[in-house]
Amino acid sequence: MKPLPLALDDLPPFRVPLRFFLTAPLFGVLAGIVVIVEGETVFASRWSPALIGATHLLTLGWLAMVMIGALFQVVPVLSGRGIPAAARVAAPVHLALTLGTLGLAYGLVASSPNLVALGLGGLLAAFLLFGGLLAWRVLRPSRGGGALVTIRFAVLALFATVALGAWMAAGIAWPSLGIPYRASTDSHARFGLFGWVLLLVMGVSQQVVPMFHVTPPFPAAIARGCGVTVFGGLILLATSDARLAVVIGASATASASLAWAIALLAVLAKRKRRRTDATVRAWQLACWVLIGTAPIAWQIAVVPDLPISFVARHQQALLLGVLVVLGFCVTVVLGMLQKIVPFLAFTHLQRRALKNPAAIPLLPAMEDFVSTRTATIQIAIHATAIALTIAAAFEPAVARAAGAALCVDFAFCAVNLTRAALRYRRVVASVAERE
């Protein structure tokens, strides 16, 4: 094969993002195994070590893993130039993130300060290396609309999340430091989930949903206002305990989340492409979960002792965590992955075949890598896993069933993505035979 011309370097080699995408579901399976092994104790309290460990297997091992892999791909599209030395830094970032997540999660589950310290080292290496290169590309001043502004807020929230997380992990790893780490938990979780993930999803969705599903654009007030309102609310909540600050901060975050979810559902309802594929289903599922979550998040922050609340006080944070992490964040990423991997396989093959038109009829479509049917089944399995995990937050006896559902959910994903990658290799080989 002839080497590709230099100007094609805007698209990193498939193996760069693929290693992240193929590893991520394995961490989801691990989270399921933790829930099965630890059983009822997982959902006994928000401070249960197994729950915190499983949560980080999902947030770092699944969410951060896929998002970093996808950013290697998306940054060239958004900024015109790729992550510097993408092909060389991908392997060390991937290794550091994998070992760091395993160390931290196992250290949290087993309450081992040494493993938490090891995990902290790996994660800091991964985030500093990747975050530094990313900031180099994305934070430079350039023109940009509402989407880019929202994405910048998301990156700031990511810094806050990592800094608070590192501070807390240091408190666990070295107890003699006397860091009151529990006090930072809410801010860490809020910045990570409502800041980094939700803001990034808001910014990206107003860009990609109208394009890929041929919908009208988001209403201007939503496109410009939601991101800044959520970010302002989070800052207020993180910096003040005053009653007024909590009411305003929680109301701002909850109402902007609600407004964005309703706007996205409305925009999707007006889409010109009527085909309902797995990605549309995933967006709809995530929006409905967020519509259910926002009022609960608001109530927990503002009136935690509301007598008519259907959730007992000790279950509130548990339920909120399950809804946001598994119901919203994991769902959005799972839906996108059903399209990203087939598309990358398709486009890399197509570029190879351009030099060799005889190979073009051999090219599979995206559908041939992950079929619409398979992807739709994936979202249905995931919805079942969410429902069972919500049930487990109320009734810990259901925990093992929820853990099993999580294992099936992510194992199904791992098998399908691996099959897509293997099919890609087979087609590459058959195209090469004709060169």
Partner 1 sequence: MTTISAFMTGDHRACDAQLADLESHVEASRWPQARTAWAAFGAAMRCHFRREEEILFLAFERATGGGGGPTYVMRMEHEQMRAAFGQLDVAVRAEDKKRVLALSESLMVLIQQHNMKEEQILYPMAEQLVEDGDRVVGEMQALRPESS
Which residues sit at the interface with partner 1, rule CB under 8 A?
Answer: 5, 7-8, 10, 77-80, 143, 207-208, 211-212, 214, 272-275, 277, 339, 343, 346-347, 350-351, 353-354, 357, 360-361, 363, 365-368
Q: How far is the CB of 350 from partner 1 (least distance, A)?
A: 5
Q: How far is the CB of 419 from partner 1 (least distance, A)?
A: 17
Question: 190 vs 339, which CB is nearer to partner 1?
Answer: 339
Q: Alpha carbon 390 to chain centroid distance?
A: 19
Question: 140 vs 272, which CB is nearer to partner 1?
Answer: 272
Q: How far is the CB of 71 from partner 1 (least distance, A)?
A: 15
H or E, element range at 20: helix 15-38
Transcribe 361-419 into DSSP letters.
Answer: GGPPPGGGTS-HHHHHHHHHHHHHHHHHHHHHHH-GGGHHHHHHHHHHHHHHHHHHHHH
Query: Rounded CA gap, 97 and 125, in Å?
Result: 8
Query: Rounded CA gap, 429 and 77, in Å?
Result: 28
Question: Is there a contact between 90 and 19 (Cβ–Cβ < 8 Å)?
Answer: yes
Question: 343 vs 394, which CB is nearer to partner 1?
Answer: 343
Question: 125 vs 363, which CB is nearer to partner 1?
Answer: 363
Question: 5 vs 307, which CB is nearer to partner 1?
Answer: 5
Query: Rounded CA gap, 299 and 243, in Å?
Result: 14
**Of 95, 97, 105, the residue nearest 34 (C-alpha):** 105
| 210: number of Cβ within 10 Å | 17
Question: 88 vs 355, which CB is nearer to partner 1?
Answer: 355
Q: How far is the CB of 213 from partner 1 (least distance, A)?
A: 9
Encoded tokens for 247: 């009411």
Query: Rounded CA gap, 275 and 277, in Å?
Result: 6
Query: Rounded CA gap, 204 and 198, in Å?
Result: 10
- Residue recorded with tokens 């060169």: 435
Q: How far is the CB of 143 from partner 1 (least distance, A)?
A: 6
**Of 10, 71, 62, the residue nearest 200 (C-alpha):** 71
Q: How far is the CB of 62 from partner 1 (least distance, A)?
A: 23
Residue type, 353: A
Question: 208 vs 247, which CB is nearer to partner 1?
Answer: 208
Q: How far is the CB of 367 from partner 1 (least distance, A)?
A: 4
| 273: number of Cβ within 10 Å | 11
Question: 15 vs 273, which CB is nearer to partner 1?
Answer: 273
Encoded tokens for 315: 């279950």
Q: How far is the CB of 84 from partner 1 (least distance, A)?
A: 17
How long, in residues, is the chain? Answer: 435
**Of 204, 215, 213, 344, the residue nearest 276 (C-alpha):** 213
Question: 134 vs 325, which CB is nearer to partner 1?
Answer: 134
Question: Is there a contact between 252 and 229 (Cβ–Cβ < 8 Å)?
Answer: yes
Query: Rounded CA gap, 105 and 227, in Å?
Result: 31
Query: Rounded CA gap, 151 and 195, in Å?
Result: 10
Q: How far is the CB of 412 from partner 1 (least distance, A)?
A: 21
Q: How far is the CB of 230 from partner 1 (least distance, A)?
A: 23
Encoded tokens for 285: 């599922």
Query: Rounded CA gap, 197 and 7, in Å?
Result: 32
Question: 15 vs 351, which CB is nearer to partner 1?
Answer: 351
DSSP symbol at 44:
S
Question: 186 vs 367, which CB is nearer to partner 1?
Answer: 367
Residue type, 406: L
Q: How far is the CB of 354 from partner 1 (least distance, A)?
A: 6
